Amino acid sequence: MMRYRVRHLTTYTYDDEVTDSLGVAHLVPRALPWQHVAAYDVTTRPGASDLRHDTDFYGNTATWFQVTEAHNRLVVEATSEVDVTAPEHDPARLAQPWEAARPLVVPTAPGAWRATDFALPSASVDQVPAATEYAAASFAPGRPLGDAVLDLVHRIHADFDYDKTATTVTSRVREVLASRAGVCQDFAHLALACFRSQGLAARYVSGYLATEPAPGRERVVGADASHAWVAVWLPGPDGGAWLAVDPTNDHEVGDRHVTVAWGRDYSDVPPVKGVIVTEASDSSLEVSVDVAPL
């Protein structure tokens, strides 16, 4: 088991006063069988006139806030302490043919109704023919589900370059396929498109990855970042489980991954989003994340 202290700092700066700011954040880690949230807190500066936590459609903790004090700078700070262990999976789930894990094709599979929403195209993951073609190489008839999933993850890692300049937060799957480059969000969306093209159910997972400094170097506080990966549905007699995999790093999700929220794609669970009342014509965004082992 690993314990981490996570600090996520989001700072918005405006060139004119904001008189009202309403936002929703997904910054509180989920309580899961392999993850225990020992403590958490979300605050704003200036202080919010209203701040509350709620549970969204997918069971994530959503933090709603409103800041009515006039400001040119808004800081949203989230802190948490989390215990994480590596998830374990029944080998029999991974060994079943991948064709059995298609909830729209095999709706009688136990728990298929729970996974159906994640087998459909979504706002940021449209189904493009190029994704179907790319995915097909990993899904030979009868191949074990676990092998097929990990093979696709390996291919994405090998075929696509990590490049922060190649895409933006609004880039689509077809653009990532064309440029053969992107960041973790892009690789997660690409993986979702590929899995769903084969009829599998897959969800987008947002969270953090605890990084390790190079040998002989100290940790750089605040140099971490939000991370994204995917989880694929595994049918089973108890309604099924989910195999979480990280295409950016080519491995299964383990005890270095802190899970915050999941949904159909990024648009369901951005760290912070909202609306403001202002005459400002320009703004800037700065994000600092630190995931420190305890």
Tens digit of each residue's pLDDT (9 = 90 or more) over 185-227: 999 999 999 999 999 999 999 999 998 765 666 554 545 779 9
CATH of the domain at 18: 2.60.40.2250
The model's pLDDT over 79-121, given as tens digits with 9 standing for 90+, comes to 999 999 999 999 999 999 999 999 999 998 888 998 999 999 9
Domain, as residue range, for 112: 91-266
15-72, pLDDT tens digit by residue? 999 999 999 999 999 999 999 999 999 999 999 999 999 999 999 999 999 999 999 9
The reply to whether 261 and 280 lie within a common domain is no
Judgement on whether residues 138 and 163 belong to the same structural domain of the protein: yes
Q: Is the dihedral of CA 254, 255, 257, 262 positive or negative?
A: positive
SS3 per residue for the chain: CEEEEEEEEEEEEEEEEEEEEEEEECCCCCCECCEEEEEEEEEEECCCCEEEEEECCCCCEEEEEEECCCEEEEEEEEEEEEEECCCCCCHHHHHCEHHHHCCCCCCCCCCHHHHHHHHCCECCECCCHHHHHHHHCCCCCCCEHHHHHHHHHHHHHHHCEECCCCCCCCCCHHHHHHHCEECHHHHHHHHHHHHHHCCCCEEEEEEEECCCCCCCCCCCCCEECEEEEEEEEECCCCCCEEEEEECCCCEECCCCEEEEEEECCHHHCCCEEEEEEECCCCEEEEEEEEEEEC
> How many domains in the chain?
2
The verdict on 56 and 148 lying in the same domain is: no
pLDDT at 150 over 80: yes
Are 211 and 224 in contact by the 8 Å Cβ rule? The answer is yes
Q: Answer yes or no: do 101 and 72 share one domain.
A: no
The tokens for 215 are: 């040998």
Say if residue 260 is in the same domain as residue 275: no
Same domain, 215 and 236: yes
pLDDT at 222: 46
pLDDT of residue 277: 96
Percent of the chain with pLDDT over 70: 96
- Regarding whether 98 and 35 lie in a shared domain, the answer is no
* Per-residue pLDDT, 219: 55
The answer on 228 and 105 residing in a single domain is yes
Tokens of 3: 């314990």
Identify the CATH number of the domain in which residue 226 sits: 3.10.620.30
Does residue 224 sit in the same domain as residue 104? yes
What is the pLDDT at residue 110?
82
Q: Is residue 45 domain-shared with residue 113, that is, in the same domain?
A: no
Residues 252 and 156 in one domain: yes
Looking at the predicted structure, is the pLDDT value of residue 247 above 60? yes
Regarding pTM above 0.85, the answer is yes
262 burial class (0-12, 13-18, 19+ CB within 10 angstroms)?
Answer: buried
Indicate whether 262 and 276 sit together in one domain.
no
